[in-house]
Chain A
Amino acid sequence: MKGFPRFIKAFLFLFLFVFIVFPFVPLVLSSISYGWQWPNVLPESFSLRAWEYVLFGSSDTLRAIGVSLSIALIVTAVNVVLAVPAANALARYQIKGKWLVEAILFAPIVIPPFVAVMGIHLTFLRIGLTETILGVVLAHISPTLPYVVRSVIISYNTLSTDWEDQARMLGAGAFSRFYHVVLPHLLPGIAAGASLSILISLSQYLITFIIGSGRVVTLPILLFPFISGGDPAIASAYSLLFAAMAIGTLMGLDFALKRYYRNKKTAAGKTVEE
């Protein structure tokens, strides 16, 4: 009986190595290589040239990161504002034609959003929304909003109206009921939805390219010419940076949420002590 878990562990370890670690090896090596001829398994010489170029060589990188992050954050903030009331209605009210509302809200999960974006492109062009951040933000809403709505609905489903009724009985107004009772309960769902929204927005290429027409330069737009046949070292450094940005943003959100709860807990503890 003992042998099985060890076998599984060995299998998992091998799987993990082949699947997770190994694919990143050439990416990392290539980003610090200075010439890497076939059939050498390791680059002939190492250099931080590509990283220097990517991080300090031009101001493009920092600007692209800034543009990517601001678009992702604006899109996500808008999504949260739109999604919380909608999720409230879907989770707690009797609605006629609920299936239709759900079909509308979740349609962009199934139908590829670039179809809608290509369709609306000429209209955006006419009203001057192409080549603008605002246009790109609007284009990023439909691929991301459904995921935020979904996550917040799940949170609403586990929140009983009794809590709000109790707060109402204690004299809390609508705003403080929402702020002190509903919002803390929804936060994990909002955070999960926001993570997805940020991740999806950060990795959009086609939609940004169509609406931004190459003038709104997010990191994927900057990255693409390099990875489709440019300098492999620079392409690798950009790829690693791009992946780090996505993972870093998610970890940041996770961290912020954990800290919020820790503060909440200590604050609650203090009030009890008093």
Chain B
Amino acid sequence: MSQKIKPYLLLFPAVAAIVLLFFGGLFDGFLKSLGYFPALGETSFGIAAYNDLLNSEAFWDSLAVTLRIAALSSVIAALLGAAMAVSLFMLQASEKGRSSRFWQRLFQLPLTIPHLVGGYIIVLLFMQSGFLSKLAASAGWIGEITDFPVLVNDSFGWGIILAYAWKEAPFVSLMVYPVLARIHRSWRDVSRVFGAGNWDFIRDIVLPVMMPAWTIATFIVFVFTFSAFEVPFLLGVTYPSVLPVYSYQLYTSGTLADRPEALAVNIILAALTVLLGLVVYYFSKRWNVLKGWD
């Protein structure tokens, strides 16, 4: 008997912690999004917050800007990350591989930089009076500060996109590289026998091999950028703001009436991420991304 319940006892502390702290919080937030605030004497349920939200232009603007930023950041990070992984792989394939490990470590540096610092790096580089603007002025390309495009705290979200692309490209490359590392050296030799040059090899062997892991990595970056707060809080504008920032603005606006709406934004955000997460999970199982092939 004790052997039968042993695994459940082993699981209990961790599961209890997550259920209490995480799902408890989600449920708590859900109740409050329905207007249930016993501390304020509100004990009735209603979907007024959701109604108001879905009828407000601010919510839909925020959703649109969130989707746009997440889509662009993940695509740019995916392209950069793939370029990194493939060039590292080709370097590895062409020599004994000591130095490529060094390169790999260096490329992972942005991963360890906290998001706020990454965001500030983008501010210093891309703001209108930033480093790139100074360089462009010295080179004579622009004459005034205002000639430099507004890329930070802009309503399109370029600053956010740049910050995410910089932070997440190494993540994509980290996800893709182990798959590439499984390509045997002999495959390269065989392809050479058949007369394939390096570019043919990349196009016909390397790209198809990395495609599943690459797609999943891109999706993960999408889900993350869809729901992250710090970078858009620093680099975005007040309106339209991405969903997490919008929720924060509502929550801290001072009027208690906005709180159910803030929590409703959160619940919608959570539901969307679950949906996206299930898509990632389904395809990663189906393509066997994490196990590769034998």
Contacts and interface: CB of A to CB of B under 8 A. Distances in A.
Contacts of B24: 116, 120
B151 interface: no
Given A38-B133, A89-B8, A115 B266 contact: yes
Given A39-B137, A118-B247, A227 B17 contact: no
A235 interface: yes
Interface stretch (A58-66, A106-114, A182-190, A258-266): A106-114
Q: Is the interface of B mostly helix, strand, loop or mixed?
A: helix
Given A8-B94, A105-B14, A117-B25, A235 B120 contact: yes
Contact of B10 (A41, A88, A126): A88
A5 B84 CA distance: 14
A11 interface: yes
Nearest to B165: A19
A5 B94 contact: yes
B211 interface: no
Nearest to A88: B10
Contact of A39 (B112, B125, B134, B269): B134
A110 B125 CA distance: 31
A175 to B, nearest CB: 16
A101 B87 contact: no
A27 interface: yes
B121 A85 contact: no
A26 B130 contact: yes
B113 A243 contact: yes
B124 interface: yes
B83 interface: yes
B90 A8 contact: yes
Nearest to B114: A203
Contacts of B263: 118-119
Contacts of B248: 206
Given A26-B131, A85-B13, A224 B25 contact: no
B26 A39 contact: no
B288 interface: no
Nearest to B14: A86
A27 B110 CA distance: 14
B11 A90 contact: yes
B25 A115 contact: yes
A242 interface: yes
A25 B277 CA distance: 37
Contacts of B29: 115-116, 118-120
B176 interface: no
A157 to B, nearest CB: 12
Contact of A119 (B30, B39, B138): B30
B95 A20 contact: no
Contacts of A232: 124
Interface stretch (B47-55, B56-64, B221-229): B221-229
Interface in A218-241: 220, 223-224, 227-228, 232, 235-236, 239-240
10 contacts: A4-B94, A5-B94, A16-B103, A26-B121, A39-B138, A107-B22, A122-B37, A149-B14, A203-B116, A227-B234
Given A86-B13, A110-B276, A120-B24, 15 more contacts: A8-B94, A20-B107, A25-B131, A39-B138, A85-B10, A104-B18, A112-B270, A115-B267, A118-B262, A119-B26, A119-B27, A141-B21, A145-B14, A203-B230, A239-B120
- 7 smallest CB-CB distances across A and B, nearest first, come from A119-B29, A116-B25, A39-B137, A93-B7, A110-B277, A120-B25, A86-B14
